[in-house]
Structure 1
Amino acid sequence: MERIIFIGLGAMGEPMAANLLAKGFDLTAVGNRRPEPVARLREQGAKVAADLAEAASGGGIAILMLPSSREVEAVALGDGGLLASLPAGSVVVDCSTSDPESTAALGRKFAARGVAMVDAPVTRGIAGAKQGKLAFFVGGDEADFARVEPALSAMGDTFHRMGALGSGHATKAMTNALSYATVALVGEMLSLGERLGIDLPVLQEALMSGAASKALESFGPRIIARDYAAPRVTIGNVCTHLAIAESMAARAHAQVPVLQAAEKVYRRVSALGHDASDMSSIAELWDGPDGAAEAGRAAS
C-alpha cells in the first residue's frame, strides 16, 4: 500500500483518515489548528508531521479535504507547500469542494513538477464518511485514478468517472446547486404552509408522498423546529459553492436564472447575520409579518 499524506482533519476529513488507517494504510497526518483530531488519529496508528514540508518530503498520495480552493491553493502554493515539497512521482487527490478552474490550473503546475493530480470531491456527508461509504466524483487521468483507487475505496464505495481533471469538481458544484436551491424551495413551501394554517409535520409527511427529496427529508425537520445549530452546511459555504456554479455557467455561456435567484436569496440571508448558521436557516427570510416582502427583495 502506498504512503498517504492526509491534509484537512475536519468533520469529514478525520473519519476519512480513520478509515484509511483501519484498512492498513501508512498514513501521515498534518497537524492543524485543532489538536484533538490529530491526537485521536495518532492513537489509531497515524504518524504526525509538524508541517506540510515534513509530511510531503516522503512522497506518496496526498489527500486534501479542505473547505474550498482558497485553502487548497494555500496548501499547494504557500511556503513549504505541496508544490515545493512533493517529490516527482507523487499524486495529489483533492476531495475538497473546489473551483474546477483552480483545480485545472493547479494540475498544470503539479504536472510541470512531475506530480499527478486527481479531483475526487465527495457526497453523502459525515455519515458516509464515518461508514466508509462516500461517493466520489472523479476527474483526471485514468492511470492516475487507478493508482489512487485503492485509497479511495477505503473511504467510499461509489465512483463516478466524470472526465478530465476538474470535471469532478464541476459535478460537485452542480450537485450542490441542485441541493441548495431545493432547500430554499423547501423553506418557501413550509413557510407558505404555516401561513395557511397547516400543521407543518403533517405537511412535510404529505410533501414527501408527493414530491420527495433528500432536501425535504433532511432539512424539513430542521426548518420546522427552527433548529439551525450544529450546521451541516453553513450559509457562508452555500454562498461560496453557488458562486462556483455561477462562474462555471458564465464561462460556458449557459443560462442559469434559477441558480442566480437561489444565490441572491442565500446572500440576503447571509447579510442578515446567518453566515455561520445551517443552510436551513434560509427559512428565517420568510418569518414574521414582513416575510413575503423580504423574500421579494432577496430575489429581485
Structure 2
Amino acid sequence: MSDTANKPVIGFIGVGFMGHGMAANIMKGGYSLVVKGNRNREPVEDLLARGATEAATPREMAMACDIIHICLSNSPQVEGVIRGADGILASGKAGLIVIDTSTADPTSTKGLAEELAAKGMTLVDAPLGRTPKEAEAGTLDAMVGADADTFATVRPVIDCWSGNITHIGPVGSAHQMKLIMNFIGMGYAALYGEALALAAKVGLAPQTVQEVIGGSRMSNGFFDSFMQYAVGRDRDAHKFSITNASKDVRYVSNMATAAGVVNPMGAAIRNYFAQVEAQGNGADYVPMMSDHIAAMNGVDLGALVEKNRK
C-alpha cells in the first residue's frame, strides 16, 4: 500500500454535513487523507488543519490514493466526478476502489461500475443511515454493495465511520436498499407532518401528539428527531435538506417504475416534497415539512407549539 503504516491512502470528495465527520474519523483511524472540497471551505480547512492534504481535481486525487470516498447530493454530481475531463476515470488508475456513499440512482451506479471495471477500477456503493451527529461520532449505518473480496478490503476503512455495517449484496444493491430506507423515512416525514396538522385542526396540541405517540410502540428514532424540531423547535435535529429528500423519493419512483411496482403511496410522498420544494423551501430540513404541511392547512405550527408550552 501507499503509506509507511501499510494502510491505503484514502481520498474524500464531498466533506459536507455527512462527509466532514466521516473524513475526520478516517483520519482518527490512522489513515492518510486527501480531500477535495466544494464552495464551503470551513470543513475543508478543518480537515487540512488535522493533517489532510488537498487535491485540485478527482483525477489528481485518484493518482494519489488507493480508495476514494464520494459523498455528494445526487447521481449527476457523482457521474461528474467520475466521468469528467479531470475525473476519476481519466486517471486510468488500475486497482483504485471508489466508495460511493451518496444516495444515488441504482441504474447510474451499475453503469458507472461497468465503466470503472473496464479501466481496472472497482466501484462500491455504501450509502448511509442516520444523521450528521452520528457522522461526527463515527456511528453511521452503512449498507454496502460489493463482491466478498472487495467488501473485506474496504471494511476496515468503513469501520472508521460506521457503527453498523451490512453487506447487502453486489454493487448497486446497497443503493437500492437505501432508497427503500428513504422511502420509509420520507413517508414518515409526510405522515407525521399531516398528522400534526390534522391534530391541530381538531384541537389537539402538538405536544400531546409527541407525548402519546412517543410513549407508545409506534415511536421510533425518526419520530424522535422529527418531533425534536416540530415540537422542540431544534433546527438542527436532522440536517437533511428537503431538496435532497425530494430527489430521493424521485429515485424511489424511478425504481418502482422500472420494477413494475404499483407505488401510490410513493407518489403521494413525492408530491408533498415536490410541492414544498416548488414553493422555494428546498433548503429547509426534512422535519420542517411539519411547518409547511401545517401551513397548507392554515395552521402556524410554531405559534401553536409556543401557545401550548407548559
Q: Same fold (TM over 0.5)?
A: yes
Deviation digits for residues 94-124 of structure 1 (CA, Å, limit 9, x no counterpart): 0111111100000000000000111000112
- Let me know the Cα RMSD of the aligned residues: 1.8
Is contact 1:231-1:277 (8 Å) kept? no
Q: CA deviation at 1:289?
A: 5.8
Look up the equivalent residue of 1:255 and give its one-letter code: V
Flag structure 2 segments of 5+ consecutive residues without an equivalent: 1-6, 300-310
Flag structure 1 segments of 5+ consecutive residues without an equivalent: 292-300
Q: How do residues 95-244 of structure 1 correspond to structure 2 at under 5 angstroms? A: 95-210=101-216, 211-224=218-231, 232-244=239-251
Is contact 2:131-2:238 (8 Å) kept? no
Greater shift after overlay, 255-264 or 99-108?
Answer: 255-264
Greater shift after overlay, 57-66 or 108-117?
Answer: 57-66
Q: Matches of 2:298 and 2:209 in 1, distance apart?
A: 23
Residue 267 in structure 1 maps to residue 309 in structure 2: no
* 1:295 counterpart residue number: none
CA change 1:288–1:58 in 2 (3 A) is: closer
Q: Matches of 1:113 and 1:171 in 2, distance apart?
A: 27
Q: Matches of 2:237 and 2:139 in 1, distance apart?
A: 22
Q: Matches of 2:163 and 2:235 in 1, distance apart?
A: 30
SS in 2 for 1:6: strand
Q: Matches of 1:258 and 1:151 in 2, distance apart?
A: 37
Q: Matches of 1:30 and 1:105 in 2, distance apart?
A: 24
Residue 39 in structure 1 maps to residue 38 in structure 2: no
Aligned residue among 64, 73, 83 for 2:89: 83
Deviation digits for residues 234-290 of structure 1 (CA, Å, limit 9, x no counterpart): 221111000111111111111111111111121112222212112233232333665
SS in 2 for 1:63: strand
SS in 1 for 2:64: coil
Q: How do residues 8-23 of structure 1 correspond to structure 2 at under 5 angstroms? A: 8-23=14-29
Q: CA deviation at 1:43?
A: 1.5
Deviation digits for residues 53-72 of structure 1 (CA, Å, limit 9, x no counterpart): 22211340011111111110
Q: Matches of 1:185 and 1:282 in 2, distance apart?
A: 10
Relative to the length of structure 1, the TM-score reads 0.91
Q: Matches of 1:80 and 1:50 in 2, distance apart?
A: 9
Residue 56 in structure 1 maps to residue 62 in structure 2: yes
Relative to the length of structure 2, the TM-score reads 0.89
Percent identity, aligned pairs only, is 33
- Deviating 4+ runs (over 3 angstroms): 224-231, 288-291
Q: CA deviation at 1:23?
A: 1.2
Q: CA deviation at 1:140?
A: 1.5
Q: CA deviation at 1:216?
A: 2.1
Q: Matches of 1:57 and 1:10 in 2, distance apart?
A: 23
Q: CA deviation at 1:225?
A: 5.6
Residue 280 in structure 1 maps to residue 287 in structure 2: yes
Deviation digits for residues 1-46 of structure 1 (CA, Å, limit 9, x no counterpart): 1111111110111111111111110111124322222221112111
